[in-house]
Structure 1
Amino acid sequence: MSIMRNLLNIIVIILCGCLYSCCTEGARQTKSGEVCSHTIQVSSLFPSSSPCLVSSKAPNTKSSLRVVHRHSTCSHLSSGRATTNPDHDEILRLDQARVDSINYKISKDRVRPMKSTDVPAKNWGSGPGTYIVTIGIGTPKHDLSLLFDTGSDLTWTQCQPCVGGHCYSQNEPLFNPSLSSSYSNVSCSSPVCDLLEKQELNGGCSASICGYKTSYLDNDATSGFLAKEKFTLTSSDVFDGVNFGCGNHNEAKHMKEVAGILGLGPGELSFPSQTAKTFNKIFSYCLPSSASNFAGHLTFGSAGISKSVKYTPVSSESSHRLNIVGITVCDKQLEIPSTVFSTSSAVIDSGTMITRLPSIAYSALESAFKEKMSIYKITSASEILETCYDFSGLKTVTIPKIAFSFGGGTIVELDPKGILYPIKISQVCFAFARNNKDTDATIFGNVQQQTLQVVYDGAAKRIGFAPNGCT
């Protein structure tokens, strides 16, 4: 009996010690705030065949457009079904081509040697073409699917007739300006044509008609006429005389059946600048993930902006530039020298998928992430993504919270889907990439923007972020 009593006493002591340890740990978590990790269903990282749902957070306003991820069940380009087995290697290569174009534009330092026959890139590359909206152009209205792009100013679409058959396949019929009563060309003497020269988009003159031309480092290119046309967001929200590029010579094989680009950059030719009298250069969006069966939204004007939005100042007349000051993992600030982010430009971009970081910052973030993910099996890398995991056989995974700190004291916590990039269940990758050079731009990409409400206030020169912007 005494032996049993002693054994019971030992067990009680051990249990009390464990309970004390747990309570102490719990107290530390309570004292420091929320638990610093996300536990998510592995299946939620991959597209489902569920019907597309309208975002409950989409503002009930005439100026709000539906945004779809091209690989989701919401995309009409995939016939209402989630796209299966997208070519991720090609997607990531196109993403890198866009990054190369951004660095070319910002630094004027070509990322790759240019041959004498190459046309210098004058705009940001089209990239993998992730997010799409539908805009009505012309009279009668002709609905067209356009990539929306915060890195481009000029809106353009393919137009008939195609010179020498140089138009790529798109989902809707090509826009025919001869069938629109509201179409007109812009003359070479117009001040608007001078804006093309300023932005290095001038394509010369033909019969006194202003032409545009631009090419990209991903070998896509478009050229045609600068024109004015009626643009319809909804039946009650129509804009006359919007300047756009009517492209009749297009080599854009990476556009993937979309008709062109809706330019949301800060320049004078962008759609927000041309509609500034109505919307005061304000627009917001929420980007759904590829796995989501929700459509996001692109909203012009101040309607529906969250009360919890936090703003950070932006600079530059040519791109949406941010001031990144730090990164935290599990509420712990990473030890990144303050000069790392100030050495090069930092931009936010809707067309770049994977966030690019200076090598020192990437190494610090990757190391902290891998430490928290040590229980999971590491697998082979994929293109630009260095750290990948095999989640085969797992129903849930627990990942650390990651947040970015921007100028002005704004802290943005990433959604779990903004931390991982799923290729297949046996290869789910850390969704960040390392810059090749210290002078390359830091880019806050669209994977990291997913599910956030992102607000562009051009008049006040600031960008805001709020959580849970889509659902």
Structure 2
Amino acid sequence: MSETKILHNIITLTMLILLVSLSHAETSKHSMKYLRIDLRHIDSHGNFSKLMLFQRMTRRSHQRMIRLVKKTHNLSQFHSNLVSAAQTNVYLGSGEFVMDIAIGTPSLSFPAILDTGSDLIWTQCKPCDRCFNQSTATFDPSTSSTYKMLPCTADLCKTLPAFKCGVRNSSCQYQYSYADKTSTAGNLASETITLGRTKVDNIAFGCGNKNTDGFPGSSGLVGLGRDSLSLISQLGFKKFSYCFASLDEKKQSPMFFGSLAYLNKSAETGPTQSTLLVRSRQNPSLYYVSLLGITVGTTKLNIPSSTFALKNVGTGGTIIDSGTTITYLQTAGYNIVINAFVSQIKFPVVNGSHFGADLCFSAPSNSSFNLPKFILHFDEADLDLPESNYFIIDPNTGLLCLTVLPSPGPSILGNLLQQNFFVIYDIGENKLSFTPTQCDKM
């Protein structure tokens, strides 16, 4: 064999090895540097007016707030018929934003609810003993060459709040019962998932064979909490971010994992501020921040900082959440806030309870006006909100409603308050950052 031919064969073999290596790197969760996914609001396909949209979001937010209260507070303070359903309420379920992911080989695409308040990734699976209706085909693990059931001895199985073992520990069978009596049950397995154009192998997920209704517009859920089962933990990223576009404009919202969390600076409209994330030993999956005070108009309200503080027993605190639209403030602090708005806004107060609002005004039609400032003071950061992030106005009726409600438990910073802010969760640095941004320009 000539030297030229030998050299050619060596080069060809080297290229083949390189291509195999690159192919493996594209599907390895340990080699990914960044990832972008576009989100859509769960009501984006509906033809709703602003107030109808607000009414739907408020109804869902109220149910989610109840679940959070039950999760973080003593269940004995609630009605007894809710207690039994809430005893494994580790995950919240449902939410407001949906992402498209694909699972298996060959892959099957489906919409999944995004949830920063939970950890498990799950979808409905065949054979389906009990499933809710979904717009896409149900995943059939028997058709996928990359599906593997995880044994009961797997580390991730042991992180589940409730599970049982199959014959000879061959499978890890989970069951979650949510506070609103929805549930999912099935096998914990691993699969190849596709996020955008990126395939990632060996991601643990719940393959649900028994699932009750309560997750409209989706075929499952993707948890982004702080525990090991969540997508962010399994991908090995130390930060993720999102930028929620105005909810009534039906535009997609970008979400970033990894180093892309700090790109697209040209859309920013203000400086970045940061505050530390607070971790609860009782609820380690949730993202807490230190809310120290509130300003309405030019007045910093006389609210003790302890009002919004996380207690040693795990109660109280302030949670930032993607799956709740409305912002909820602990009741004592909330009452001071609404009294301040009532004293500073000179429009007539009207009843907006049919839309789910607690405080509404009758605004003059066809005229411009300025509303009092609403500023949240965190540890080392101040969130100065645009009016559209805390008031909603119906141009047809002139109804002007505050999008903040009281909570008997923790305060919850909802996604309406976060819209048009680039929000970065830096888990490695234990820090939350927010930047005023035109999210639809990213």
TM-score by length of 2: 0.81
Give the letter for the 1:411 counterpart: D
Matches within 5 A, 1:351-430: 351-375=323-347, 378-382=350-354, 385-391=357-363, 393-394=365-366, 396-407=368-379, 409-421=380-392, 425-426=396-397, 427-430=399-402
CA distance in 2: counterparts of 1:382 and 1:83, whole angstroms = 16
| 2:140 equivalent to 1:149 | no
Residue 78 of structure 2: aligned partner? 112
Helix, strand or coil at the partner of 2:80: coil
Residue 7 of structure 1 corresponds to which residue in structure 2?
none
CA distance in 2, matches of 1:467, 1:87: 24
**Aligned partner (choices 443, 446, 451) of residue 420 of structure 2:** 451
Cα deviation, residue 374, structure 1: 1.2
Q: Which residue of 2 aligns with 1:283?
A: 240
Q: CA deviation digits over 1:217-271, x for unaligned, max 9?
A: 2221111110101111122x2211011111111112x311301111000011111
Question: Which of 233, 236, 247 is the aligned partner of 2:208?
Answer: 247
Residue identity opposite 1:314 in structure 2: L
Alignment of 1:18-417 (within 5 A): 63-72=35-44, 78=45, 82-83=47-48, 86=52, 91-110=57-76, 112-115=78-81, 118=85, 120-127=87-94, 129-163=95-129, 166-196=130-160, 200=161, 202-207=162-167, 208-235=170-197, 237-252=198-213, 254-276=214-236, 279=237, 281-305=238-262, 306=265, 308-316=271-279, 317-342=284-309, 344-375=316-347, 378-382=350-354, 385-391=357-363, 393-394=365-366, 396-407=368-379, 409-417=380-388
Given that 1:287 and 1:470 are in contact with CA atoms closer than 8 Å, whether structure 2 keeps it comes out as yes
Alignment partner of 1:433 is 2:405: yes
TM superposition shift of 1:377: 5.5
* Residues 288 and 296, structure 1, Cα contact 8 Å, conserved in 2: yes
Change (3 A) 1:138 1:393: same
Structure 1 contact 326–334 (Cα < 8 Å) conserved: yes
SS of equivalent residue, structure 1 residue 255: coil
TM-aligned CA distance change 1:229 to 1:71, over 3 Å: same
1:177 partner letter: P
Instruction: Give per-residue Cα distances to partners, 1:173-202, cap 9 Å, x unaligned.
Output: 111111211111111111221111xxx1x2
* Residue aligned with 1:297, SS: strand
Q: 2:68 corresponds to which letter in structure 1?
A: I
Residue identity opposite 1:261 in structure 2: L
Contact 1:349 1:446 in 2 (8 A): yes
Shift in alpha-carbon separation, 1:140–1:304, aligned structure 2, 3 A: same
CA distance in 2, matches of 1:296, 1:395: 31
Task: Give the C-alpha shift of residue 142 in structure 1.
Answer: 1.4
**Gapped regions of structure 1 (runs ≥ 5):** 1-60, 73-77
2:190 maps to amino acid: K
Aligned CA-pair RMSD: 2.4
- Cα contact 2:391–2:403 (8 A) shared by 1: yes
Give me the identity figure in percent.
Answer: 29
SS of corresponding position for 1:187: coil
Q: Return the alpha-carbon distance in structure 2 between the equivalents of residues 137 and 399 of structure 1.
A: 47
Q: Which amino acid letter does the alignment assign opposite residue 240 of structure 2?
A: F
Question: Structure 1 length as normaliser, TM-score?
Answer: 0.76
What residue number does 1:15 align with? none
| Structure-2 separation of matches of 1:178 and 1:385 | 48
Q: Using a 3 Å threshold, how does the CA distance of structure 1 residues 88 and 219 change in structure 2: closer, same or farther?
A: farther
**Number of residue equivalences:** 388
Alignment check: 8 A CA contact 2:119 2:228 kept: yes
CA contact (8 A) 1:126 1:218 kept: no
The one-letter code of the counterpart of 2:414 is: G
